[in-house]
Structure 1
Amino acid sequence: MTRNVLIADKEYVSSQVLSDVGRAARDHADAVTAGAIAFPSHWSRFTVTIAGGGQSITIAPGELWKGDAIYSLEAAVDVGILDYLPPVGNEKWIAILAQPSNQTTRNRSAKVRTGIDPENPQPATQSVVGEEVRLVEFVVQQGTQAAPGSAAKPTVPESSCAVVYILLSGAGAQAIEPAVSDKVKSLYDVDGRLMALEVRVDALFQRVTGIETDLSALKGAIPKIIRPEIITQLQGGLARVEQLLGIPTNYVARFFDPGLTTEEWDESQAEWLADVREGVKFPKIAASDNRMELLDDASPDIKIKDGVLLPAWTEERLLDVTGSGGTRDISQQTHTVTTANTGTISRSSVEYGPTVKLCENTKEYANLGASAYLENFKTASGETFQNLGKTDNPWNDTEHAIGHSEFRARQVIQRSWSETYTYYTTQSYGVNGSVYGQTWLNSQERILTSLELDFARAGSGDVHVFLCQVNSSGTPDFDTTICKGTILAADIQTGWVKCEFRPTLLEAGKRYGWFTVTTGNHALRTVTGNKYAQGSLFWSTDGAWAQGSPTEDFAFRLNVAKFSTTRLVVEFAPLTLTGGMTEFHFTYAGWEPGGTRLPWEYAPKRTGLPDVWHPFSTDDNSPLRDVPDTCRIRAVFEGTTDLMPSIQIDNTARHRAYRRGPELVAISEDQTFGLGTTSIITETVMDDFDPAIHTVTPRVMVGGTVYDADTVTEIDDDYPESERVKLRASFTVPSTSSARYRLEVSSSSVIDQCFAETVAMFAF
């Protein structure tokens, strides 16, 4: 007690002095309550019981501690709850709140002096102010009624003191829960908790000591730990090596794809909206597909033989094997049925589309730097591009560009596959008769048009003549023929008789053969002494095995095409696409031997403007930027008087026009990592990227759920040109052992469109 009221000896004690004694004691208790205990609004000693059959509650005496004062309940009190009961079938929580009462004083009866004579005080009993009291009253705060089991307790303000929570039903009070958080904690309670805490603190000190030891060891090991960026680089490099070598990649924590084929992409996804070819591109939303038709197929400047289009030609003799000798019956062997499979001419594809810029250090295009200007080169997956030389990027002039130079691959992507003649599509001929033939070495690349045979005797029956390849043993390969001709019996007479073929390209340095199949009693003249030593005469007794003659050859003449011009322009029917086109794609059979060229040109049709012919080039200011509906198309045949390219005019020769859309959604196959992870990183290399036009959003899919990236960072990874960027995205997903890579791109232009050059996904 900080203040003590002193009373002197023989002092008349007044009522004020005695009141000060009590007030000093109470002020001291208030100071301790506010300064040392300091419960803002808490209760102590209250107990609550259900009374009146659940219609009321009884609160036993206790105290309310509020700030610097203590308020008391001196006698038990009943609180009715009948008015708060919810309807039958519902429940509701209520809170009983303790708060100070308005009553502050209390009177009592006492004898009071009424007279003024000290000798005669005249005492009388009167009611006087006897006590200042602090009492507690209780209020009810209601919650919201709800179905049984779902009712919530009411929210009590921080300045209020909740004593208990009572669960009510239509029948009355059902349960009581003390508001423990608002109860005054006694020293006994605090001591018990402190002892438990001391035990935990002792254990904590021991664990902290162990952690400090571990951290010291970890500090020494940190310089040896590989950085996450290095792990990502290693994962990406290993994925490229696996892709190049064709190593099976099941159950690995990485996925890499150069976007050259659809092998790793799931086109069956409902949201799929992409085209995977030389990168992941925007999808084609409009297309036209028409057969190649000549604008003037009766022009005297061209010649079409069995569908093979060439500049007009006449025949000249390439090989003449004549001289003295004997004759050979070509029907003297036992007749057999020979099946000759005639192959188709090799096929080509020409595409005009978005600019493709490549870096020679990209493994998918490792052959780029070693190829010459305008030379075709193959990618790791076998796709063919044409090298148009280095770009004008200043990076190419620096010493750092050695082995990392940037090139352009032809925007016109030209592909040709197989050798001159393939056997994917064949036509079988079953012919009955004797089989005789002759082989020769072709020393000059020319276009064969006909073969002449010297008949010594003319019998009855047609003579079937086949041009074929020669197998490794030097004998005619009867099963793989290049072309077929027939000499009708009515046209056979003694002397030289011509058999015409479809124009056929003979490659220099290769051996070829011709053979006849007939049942007619015909005879051909031979030349003795092996005048033409580079080949041999053959005959077959069973239609499969051939026996050669070491002393004689058949007399024969080979005729080839002789062209009157070295350059010819041939126009085809125009391409049309409603709404406009941004790309071409031509597919046709034919050949383009070394020393010849078959470039294509186009002229967009514009209202009120003359038609201007443009070569297929890599110029970014392409005439197709206007998205024309119609384009004139022409092919330029360039060669020599001896050799020219050709086009096979048939149903497989197609002109296609496309227009791409502004939205791209590509989803990979589900990639199994072989481990569980919640952290995934993707890397996407975008080419022809313009941030003002394109929006790229890498995502991942786990199951059917799509997850956005936590962060997307642009990585400077030896990409010297601003149009090529690498985007690294980090994802946090639920624990999973597999995921799909998902790429979403939008463009504000159907002409200026980017594409994904390579994509990768790594699990960590």
Structure 2
Amino acid sequence: MSEKHVIYRDRQELQAADLNNSQLWGDEATRHIVTDAITSERQFTGMTVSARSATELEVAAGRLYDGPTGKVFALDPAQVHSVFAMLPLQDQKWVAVSVFGAEEDTDIQPRDFLIDLQTREVEPEAVAMQRRRVATVHIAQGLESPTPERPEPPTGYTLIAHVRLSPTGVQEVVLADSRRLPNLQRVDARLRVAEGWMLAAEPRIAHIMSDIAGLGSEVAKRASIDHLVTLALDMAKVKERMEIPDDYAFYGADHFLNDDESDTAHADYLADAYEGARPVIVATQTGVLSLLNPMDPEARISAGALLLPAYDEVTRLRMENRAGELAINQYQYQTFNAVQKTISRERVRYGEQLTRCTNSTFWKSGVYDPITGILRRDGEVWQVDPADMDKATIDHKFLRVTRLWIDTWEEPYWDIVSTEHVVQGSVLAQTVLMAQTGWLTSAEIFVTTADPAGGLTVMLTEAALGQPDVSKVLARATLAPGAVTAGWLKVPFTDPVLVESGKRYALVLVSGAGHRVGFCEGTEYTQGILMYAQDGAYFTQAAERDLMLRLNFARFNSPRAVVQMQPLQLAGGIQELDMLYDAAVPAGCRLVWEYQTGGQWRPITTEASPQFGGAALVPLRAVFIGTQDLMPAARPSTAQVTVSRRGNAFVHVSTNRVLGTPSKTIRVRLLLEDFNAAQGHTVDCRLIVAGALVAATSHRDEVVDGRSFWREFRWTLAANTGSYRIRIDGAGVTGANPWHVAERYDLAL
């Protein structure tokens, strides 16, 4: 056990130092074991403190392990200490019972010492023949008080108990079990219990993940609360508000969600159908988002320009026990098309005149296309397929409050904007059931033999049906010939990929070269299957095999990160902000934009009203909030950021209304929201008949709630007309007191 030993030989002189070294070096080895393997702190065993009588404490035998030095001090036998002199006079007090170690020389014996080598004369002397390491008990008193506090032992002493005293004696003994040295046999017993629980619980937990995945799929098929609210709103309008007469000859409506029923080419047209009829933008500037400091330590930009808070890579899934190898090109060579999905989008609109409009619920009606109308950037030409409109309205989520509108897409990836790839080679794939949501930054596969003449394509796809779905590729990496090397081959993705717990994914390897990859036995960790492709179908390579792989995820440096962006600018002052960008915000995370005015950073949230104050230059920053395992992400480089300022009045002209039967009795109902004549708001509605403006004969109001009412304009024309346009004039729209026309209904009797 000792690192050093004394060497004894026949007929060799024996000195006292040799004998002392034998025990000294053995003691050093024991102290090293204590410090290195048992404890590096001061802890004790035994030494249980109990009340022997009302005024006496008994400390049982035990040992003090001094971790910093490795020395062990013994308290033997048990000791009794009186606390009679420490009893309080009136109230109560605590005392701290502690121990400290000391060395003492004992066992005094008479021994002869040689004083003359020639005559061999000796002289007796009483000396200590034993050196002991003794643990000494010390009692420190606290202050007497009705609510006494527990005193701490002196520095270097080890607390073993606190004792509460009253005038009548010992009242309570609180042992310092946190300083007690754990027993190895007891630790082993506890570990066996924990391992037994893990073995019993693991299959149940794995099954729960499957249940959650199934529940998520079922919930996605159910109608959302937004649909129910929309249905209730529509029915209420039909039953109570519209009051459509039985003898009407024509009926029309405009919810001002787009320009379909607006005559934007009319010479007098000066309005914006922007979830309500509103003043047009009189000054605007559009640009992209970019970091104020490209080397910002709080940010990390991927090769695909995806912005995430700073992070380190950690490996969450390891399949490293090699059981054999497979050649990728032993399977059929084929050509197939892969469709790569992209991160979905978020749009944040924030402005002084952005009053909440109740007609925004009509985005969910199925008549309008909310994705094209809201999440398509200027200059893009894609359109949602009518067959996908139902899914689009389900996945589209929006928030409308006064002066803040937020539109998001429920799924982190969508195929509305996608990229197609032609991939050629043999296919080997490994499916995985993700147990935790996170950002997958790279994958590692074990290559046993690399063919320098061929490359390798690695794709991460969705696998909802338990096999790769190449029409839903989330990430793709292509390694050129020569870049594939033997051993653990790290494949970084262009952008980190957000994978969700309870969902199945597939890592697909495609190559026509003679690369060989390792596999391991068992699928308990991945809950997936190793598969190959042939004739467009997938087959199980082996039910009990998994590809040797490592999945690396982002471990963020902090659960909150602030990234400074380039400031917003608009000559004459900013009144409204519109940001449309690629983003993924997992559940439990938030991406909050903040701007600075008056030396104060202000969040763009539902609780804060816009306070741009007419500033022409506004600093901007992004605040990422989440956990060290999960954070939101955004892509600044492709963002469309528009700052603008609106006018104070508007003129809206409808498209030509052609009647099936000519009529001279016309009614137009306008839903006015946040309208208040006392604040200078004005509204007028006139018909344009044969190019001439015709004022209403009369009008009446019908209050809906505290912020909105219907105003119905009525005309009795001099003669029947077969067509007309509707002109709405509004004024007095200011940042302090904005208003808008939410809906328009017209009918001819």
TM-score by length of 1: 0.58
Q: 1:252 to 1:520 in 2, by over 3 A?
A: farther
Name the counterpart of 2:278.
281
Does residue 732 in structure 1 map to residue 730 in structure 2?
A: no
- Superposed counterparts of 1:308-457, under 5 Å: 308-354=306-352, 364=362, 384-386=397-399, 409=401, 411-417=403-409, 419-457=411-449
Distance 2:235 2:595 in 1: 44
How far does the alpha carbon of each residue in 1:339-370 deviate from its partner, in whole angstroms, 9 at most, with x for none? 32222211111100246666989975999xxx
For the 8 Å contact 1:239–1:255, the answer to whether it is kept is no
For the 8 Å contact 2:254–2:744, the answer to whether it is kept is yes
How far does the alpha carbon of each residue in 1:31-86 deviate from its partner, in whole angstroms, 9 at most, with x for none? xxxxxxxxxxxxxxxxxxxxxxxxxxxxxxxxxxxxxxxxxxxxxxxxxxxxxxxx
How far does the alpha carbon of each residue in 1:417-464 deviate from its partner, in whole angstroms, 9 at most, with x for none? 363222233333333321111111112111100001011211122211
Query: Residue 675 of structure 1: CA displacement?
Result: 2.9
Specify which of 254, 259, 275 is matched with residue 257 of structure 1: 254
Q: 1:366 to 1:586 in 2, by over 3 A?
A: closer
Specify which of 477, 492, 496 is matched with residue 488 of structure 2: 496
Query: Residue 310 of structure 1: CA displacement?
Result: 0.8
For the 8 Å contact 1:439–1:537, the answer to whether it is kept is yes
Q: Which runs of 5+ in 2 are unaligned?
A: 1-232, 242-247, 366-390
Does residue 641 in structure 1 map to residue 634 in structure 2?
A: no
For the 8 Å contact 1:359–1:365, the answer to whether it is kept is no
Name the counterpart of 1:743.
728
How far does the alpha carbon of each residue in 1:693-748 deviate from its partner, in whole angstroms, 9 at most, with x for none? 222111223343332111233x2323224xx3322211123312443332111226
**What letter corresponds to residue 583 of structure 1 in structure 2?**
E
What secondary structure is seen at the aligned counterpart in 2 of 1:720? coil
Specify which of 693, 705, 714 is matched with residue 692 of structure 2: 705
Q: 1:261 to 1:725 in 2, by over 3 A?
A: same
For the 8 Å contact 2:351–2:610, the answer to whether it is kept is no
Distance 2:426 2:317 in 1: 25
Q: 1:457 to 1:647 in 2, by over 3 A?
A: same
Name the counterpart of 1:266.
263
What secondary structure is seen at the aligned counterpart in 2 of 1:315? strand
Does residue 595 in structure 1 map to residue 588 in structure 2?
A: yes
For the 8 Å contact 1:318–1:559, the answer to whether it is kept is yes
Does residue 564 in structure 1 map to residue 557 in structure 2?
A: yes
Distance 1:520 1:489 in 2: 9
Distance 1:361 1:521 in 2: 61
For the 8 Å contact 2:520–2:545, the answer to whether it is kept is yes
Name the counterpart of 1:674.
660
Q: 1:410 to 1:523 in 2, by over 3 A?
A: farther
For the 8 Å contact 2:602–2:608, the answer to whether it is kept is no
Name the counterpart of 2:470.
478
For the 8 Å contact 2:276–2:359, the answer to whether it is kept is no
Q: 1:327 to 1:381 in 2, by over 3 A?
A: closer
Q: 1:360 to 1:380 in 2, by over 3 A?
A: farther
What secondary structure is seen at the aligned counterpart in 2 of 1:716? strand
Distance 1:603 1:324 in 2: 56
State which drifts further: 319-328 or 289-298.
Answer: 319-328
Q: 1:380 to 1:486 in 2, by over 3 A?
A: closer
Distance 2:393 2:336 in 1: 41
**What letter corresponds to residue 706 of structure 2 in structure 1?**
P
How far does the alpha carbon of each residue in 1:638-682 deviate from its partner, in whole angstroms, 9 at most, with x for none? 1100010111132x2122101111221112223344332101111
**What letter corresponds to residue 535 of structure 1 in structure 2?**
G
Q: 1:308 to 1:751 in 2, by over 3 A?
A: same
Distance 2:607 2:558 in 1: 30
Specify which of 728, 737, 742 is matched with residue 752 of structure 1: 737
Q: 1:457 to 1:366 in 2, by over 3 A?
A: closer
For the 8 Å contact 1:286–1:660, the answer to whether it is kept is yes
Distance 1:318 1:716 in 2: 62
Distance 1:711 1:379 in 2: 43
How far does the alpha carbon of each residue in 1:250-296 deviate from its partner, in whole angstroms, 9 at most, with x for none? x9622223323333323233322111122111111111001111101
**What letter corresponds to residue 340 of structure 2 in structure 1?**
T
Name the counterpart of 1:110.
none
State which drifts further: 662-671 or 460-469.
Answer: 662-671
How far does the alpha carbon of each residue in 1:484-529 deviate from its partner, in whole angstroms, 9 at most, with x for none? 1134443433321110012111122211111111122111111234
Name the counterpart of 1:64.
none
Name the counterpart of 2:617.
630
What secondary structure is seen at the aligned counterpart in 1 of 2:615? coil
What secondary structure is seen at the aligned counterpart in 1 of 2:703? coil
Specify which of 592, 600, 603 is matched with residue 612 of structure 1: 600
**What letter corresponds to residue 686 of structure 1 in structure 2?**
L
Name the counterpart of 1:511.
504
Distance 1:620 1:752 in 2: 16
What secondary structure is seen at the aligned counterpart in 2 of 1:419? coil
Distance 1:690 1:458 in 2: 76
Does residue 582 in structure 1 map to residue 595 in structure 2?
A: no
**What letter corresponds to residue 457 of structure 2 in structure 1?**
H
Distance 2:412 2:293 in 1: 28
Residue-pair matches, total: 479
What secondary structure is seen at the aligned counterpart in 1 of 2:482? helix
Does residue 464 in structure 1 map to residue 449 in structure 2?
A: no
Distance 1:289 1:420 in 2: 26
For the 8 Å contact 2:673–2:741, the answer to whether it is kept is yes
How far does the alpha carbon of each residue in 1:574-604 deviate from its partner, in whole angstroms, 9 at most, with x for none? 1111122210001110211110001111123
Specify which of 548, 560, 569 is matched with residue 555 of structure 1: 548
Distance 1:252 1:555 in 2: 73
Distance 1:381 1:264 in 2: 25
What secondary structure is seen at the aligned counterpart in 2 of 1:269? coil
Distance 1:379 1:357 in 2: 25
Query: Residue 620 of structure 1: CA displacement?
Result: 8.8
Query: Residue 533 of structure 1: CA displacement?
Result: 6.0
Distance 2:394 2:274 in 1: 11
**What letter corresponds to residue 700 of structure 1 in structure 2?**
L
Larger Rg: 1
What secondary structure is seen at the aligned counterpart in 2 of 1:294? coil
Does residue 539 in structure 1 map to residue 537 in structure 2?
A: no
For the 8 Å contact 1:343–1:425, the answer to whether it is kept is yes
How large is the Cα RMSD of the aligned pairs?
3.1
Name the counterpart of 1:7.
none
Q: 1:573 to 1:349 in 2, by over 3 A?
A: same
Distance 1:464 1:739 in 2: 62
Q: 1:452 to 1:686 in 2, by over 3 A?
A: same
Name the counterpart of 1:716.
702
Distance 2:609 2:474 in 1: 44
What secondary structure is seen at the aligned counterpart in 2 of 1:623? coil
